[in-house]
Chain A
Amino acid sequence: DARVTQTPRDKVTEMGQEVTMRCQPILGHNTVFWYRQTMMQGLELLAYFRNRAPLDDSGMPKDRFSAEMPDATLATLKIQPSEPRDSAVYFCASGLYQIGGRSNEQFFGPGTRLTVL
């Protein structure tokens, strides 16, 4: 059963600390997305990658957030330094983009619940 996995599932940290979230996309998917979900803002796209290259990171605060794909099986989202306003659930999603194809479905992981005190 192919699924997106994320670690950790829960993270509580102090303001100013570095936070790293990890995602393993579905094997064979070439596009990886990072979202943030809060009660106030709903689901917001932070960044996405295709074939490990960043395509759009316009939703991400550049001064403290960074996203990378060290290899095809791992995506990371890092916050340094973390602030209380970063408290949210962070989702990773993956999908398969094919030139000329219609399929644009994104499959979500279970999320990382981040609390910054």
Chain B
Amino acid sequence: EDQVTQSPEALRLQEGESSSLNCSYTVSGLRGLFWYRQDPGKGPEFLFTLYSAGEEKEKERLKATLTKKESFLHITAPKPEDSATYLCAARGETSGSRLTFGEGTQLTVNP
């Protein structure tokens, strides 16, 4: 059974204080590792897909990286508008199109 675990559950940062969110996954034959951002009262918003260990993707202050067991979402010099819940999901070779989501990390960036 595919499993995805995110840590920490919640993270408070000061504006400009860089940090990383962790996503550990146990998936048979990874076919994609996905990051989403979810704001209160809204649906998850797609950020990145990573497919193989060593791959990296960037978008503004966010950079996602992937190893064989984990993915990290690095946030550089965050701003208050980066406050949101960040969700990680994985798709395995036996999952069809099913994604297994982690519980999310709730990020708060204080001005």
Contact = CB atoms under 8 A, between A and B. Distances in A.
Interface string B80-111: 00000001000100001111011110000000
B24 interface: no
A105 B96 contact: no
Interface string B15-38: 000000000000000011010100
A73 B65 CA distance: 35
Contact of A105 (B34, B42, B102): B34
A25 interface: no
B101 A56 contact: no
B87 A106 contact: no
Interface residues of A, number: 24
Contacts, number: 52
A85 interface: no
B46 A106 contact: yes
Interface in A68-88: none
A4 B44 CA distance: 12
A104 B51 CA distance: 10
Interface in A96-117: 97, 102-111
A95 B103 CA distance: 22
Given A91-B43, A105-B49, A108-B43, A45 B103 contact: no
Nearest to B48: A105
Which of A43, A48, A107 gathers the greatest number of chain B CB atoms within 10 Å? A43
B43 A55 contact: no
B49 A97 contact: no
A55 B91 CA distance: 16
B45 interface: yes
15 contacts: A43-B101, A48-B98, A50-B97, A56-B96, A56-B98, A91-B43, A102-B32, A103-B49, A104-B31, A104-B91, A104-B97, A105-B46, A107-B46, A110-B42, A110-B43
